[in-house]
Chain A
C-alpha cells in the first residue's frame, strides 16, 4: 500500500470515528433540546395522518438531521477545509439544510398558507376597486403562474415551505453546484464517465443536468424519509460507496468528507431505528440528498447514481408513477406512495421494509462499485 493511500485511509477512518463519537455524544443533547422546544411531529403533518397506526409517531422530535449537518460541518471545518473541494459541497448542504429547517419549523409552529388560484387572481384583476392593486396583480402574473404550476399537485392550504419556494431554493443549490463543477473543477467534468465505454462529452449540457440531479435527489431522499431508519441506513451504504470510490480515485478531501458523513449517520441511525428517538426532518433529508448528489457529480460518477441511490430513486419514481396514474388515469397504481407505504398496506412490518431496503441498497452500491472498476 503506497504512502498516499495509507494517508487517505488513515484520515478517512479517523474522520468516521471522530464524527461518529461527536454525534453519539451530541445526539441525546439534541433530543433534549428538541423535546424542550416541542419541535415534534404533530398529527396533521407528514404521513402520520395517512395510516392508522402511525399515530404512534406523533410526538417524536423532528429535525434530528441537524445532528448530521452540524457534525459534518464542524468536522470538515476543522479537518477538511479545502477551498477547491469542500467549500461548495458543504455550502450546498448548508443551504439545503436551511431550507429544510425553515420547512420543519414552519410545519410545527407556522400558520397554514394558501396560494390564490389563477381564477381568483383573474377575478380580482377584473373587479378589484384599487387600480394599483390590479396593476400589481397583472405585473406579478408570471410569478403567479409559476406558483400555481407547483400547486397543481399539492394540497392547500399548507404549513411549511410552499412547493414553488422549495423548488427555487433547490434550483439555487443546483445552480451553485453546476457553476462549481463546470467552471471550477476543470474540463474533465464536462465529460460523463460511462462504464465499459469511456467518456461522453456533454459540455455545457452538464449545467441543466447537474441542477436537475441536485433537485431530484434532494427530493428523493426527502420522500424516502418515511420510516424509522430507512433513509439514514440507505444513506450509510450510499456514502460508504462514495467513500470507497473516492479512496480509489485518490481524492483525500472527498474521501474524508464522505467518511465524515458516514460517522455522523451511524450515530444518527442508532437513535433513529424503531422506536425512533428523533426523526431526520427535512433539515437532514434535503441536506443529505443534496450532498449526495453533489458528491456523485463531483466524483464524476453520474452514471452510478441509480446504483448508489437505488432505493431513493425507486421511492421517488413510485411517487411520480402514482401521480401520473392518479391524475392521468384516475386510478391508483399503488395503495399509497411512496413504495414503503404501499408495502405497509400489504402487511409488511416497518422493520422488515427498512431492513430489506437497506440490504437492497447495499447490494446495489456493491454493483455500482463493481461497475466503477470498469
Chain B
C-alpha cells in the first residue's frame, strides 16, 4: 500500500502555531475570532481582523498599558473578552493570507504582488490602497476570483496550501495536510477561523481539523464539516 503524506511547509506551520499559541500575560491562548463587520476603513489592520499573531499580542499588551489594566489578573475567558471587545482577533481570510504569505515566501514568491485585487485602470485609488494595504483588501471573494485561483476538478487533486471555499464565498479553509493511499485521498487536514455562532462567544477562534474520507468526494467532505465547499488552488 503506497502512502503519501504531504504537509504544509514549516514556515506555514509556524504561522499557524503562532496563532494557536499566543503568549499573553503568562497565559497561552488561541487567537480569538474577529471580523470587520462594521466595514471600518483606514483603521490599523490589527483592528480589522487582519493582524499577524505578534501584532495582535503587541496591541493587546499596549491596550492594557493604556488602560492601566493588569492582564495577568485576568482569567482566560476574561482575556478573550478583553481582546474581542477591543476588536482584536483574526478572521478566516486574514488567517489564510498570513499562512500563505509565509508559505509562498519560502518559494521566493511575493504573494501580494501576485494576487490581483483591482485593476489600476478600473479604479486607480482602490488599486493604490490595495498596494499599500494588501491584507486588508484580500477577501475570500478575491481569493476565489478566477484571476487568482482555479477550480480543482477533483478533491483527489488537493494539496496543502489549497483552499476550501464555501460556495457562497463567505468562508475559507486552508488545507494543511493530505494523506493518500494508493493515490486516493484518505485524510485531509485544514485550519480555519470560523465566525462564532453566538455573539457572546469569547474563546478560541482558530480550529484545526482532520477529516477521514471513505469516498474521496467533495460531497462527503462537505457533510463531515457541515459546509458546502469547492476546492481551489492559487494560480501561482
A-to-B contact residues, CB < 8 Å? 50-53, 55, 326-332, 335-336, 345
Given the complex, which residues of B lie within 8 Å of A328, measured CB to CB?
Answer: 132-133
Q: Shortest distance in angstroms between A265's beta carbon and chain B's nearest beta carbon?
A: 31
B128-178, CB < 8 A from A: 132-133, 135-136
The docked-state distance in angstroms from the alpha carbon of A345 to that of B62 is: 8
Contact partner of B66 (CB less than 8 A), chosen from A50, A326, A329, is A50
| B62 x A53 contact (CB < 8 A) | no
Q: Shortest distance in angstroms between B40's beta carbon and chain A's nearest beta carbon?
A: 11
Interface residues on B, range: 10 to 19
Contact partner of A345 (CB less than 8 A), chosen from B45, B65, B68, B69, is B65
| A329 x B132 contact (CB < 8 A) | yes
Across the interface, name the chain B residue whose C-beta is closest to A52.
B68
Given the complex, which residues of A lie within 8 Å of B45, measured CB to CB?
Answer: 330-331
Across the interface, name the chain A residue whose C-beta is closest to B59.
A332
| A51 x B133 contact (CB < 8 A) | no
The docked-state distance in angstroms from the alpha carbon of A301 to that of B152 is: 70
| A331 x B44 contact (CB < 8 A) | yes
B43-97, CB < 8 A from A: 43-46, 48, 50, 55, 62, 65-69
Given the complex, which residues of B lie within 8 Å of A336, measured CB to CB?
Answer: 66
| B66 x A52 contact (CB < 8 A) | yes
Known contacts A53-B68, A328-B132, A335 near B62 by CB under 8 Å: yes
B-to-A contact residues, CB < 8 Å? 42-46, 48, 50, 55, 62, 65-69, 132-133, 135-136
Interface centre among A327, A328, A330 (most CB of B within 10 A): A330
Given the complex, which residues of A lie within 8 Å of B68, measured CB to CB?
Answer: 52-53, 55
Q: List 10 A-B contacts (CB under 8 A).
A: A50-B66, A51-B66, A52-B69, A53-B68, A328-B133, A329-B133, A330-B45, A330-B48, A331-B45, A345-B62
Q: Shortest distance in angstroms between B201's beta carbon and chain A's nearest beta carbon?
A: 26
Q: Shortest distance in angstroms between A58's beta carbon and chain B's nearest beta carbon?
A: 13
Known contacts A52-B67, A52-B68, A53-B68, A330 near B136 by CB under 8 Å: yes
Across the interface, name the chain B residue whose C-beta is closest to A50.
B66
| B66 x A330 contact (CB < 8 A) | no
The docked-state distance in angstroms from the alpha carbon of A53 to that of B68 is: 7
| A327 x B65 contact (CB < 8 A) | no
| B133 x A330 contact (CB < 8 A) | yes
Across the interface, name the chain B residue whose C-beta is closest to A335.
B62
Given the complex, which residues of A lie within 8 Å of B48, measured CB to CB?
Answer: 330
Interface centre among B50, B66, B132 (most CB of A within 10 A): B66
Across the interface, name the chain B residue whose C-beta is closest to A55.
B68
Given the complex, which residues of B lie within 8 Å of A52, measured CB to CB?
Answer: 65-69
The docked-state distance in angstroms from the alpha carbon of A330 to that of B42 is: 7
| B66 x A332 contact (CB < 8 A) | no
The docked-state distance in angstroms from the alpha carbon of A345 to that of B46 is: 19
Given the complex, which residues of B lie within 8 Å of A326, measured CB to CB?
Answer: 42, 44
Given the complex, which residues of B lie within 8 Å of A330, measured CB to CB?
Answer: 43-46, 48, 50, 133, 135-136
Given the complex, which residues of B lie within 8 Å of A335, measured CB to CB?
Answer: 62
The docked-state distance in angstroms from the alpha carbon of A170 to that of B117 is: 41
Q: Shortest distance in angstroms between A270's beta carbon and chain B's nearest beta carbon?
A: 30
Q: Shortest distance in angstroms between B136's beta carbon and chain A's nearest beta carbon?
A: 6
The docked-state distance in angstroms from the alpha carbon of A58 to that of B67 is: 15
Across the interface, name the chain A residue whose C-beta is closest to B132.
A328
Q: Shortest distance in angstroms between A338's beta carbon and chain B's nearest beta carbon?
A: 15
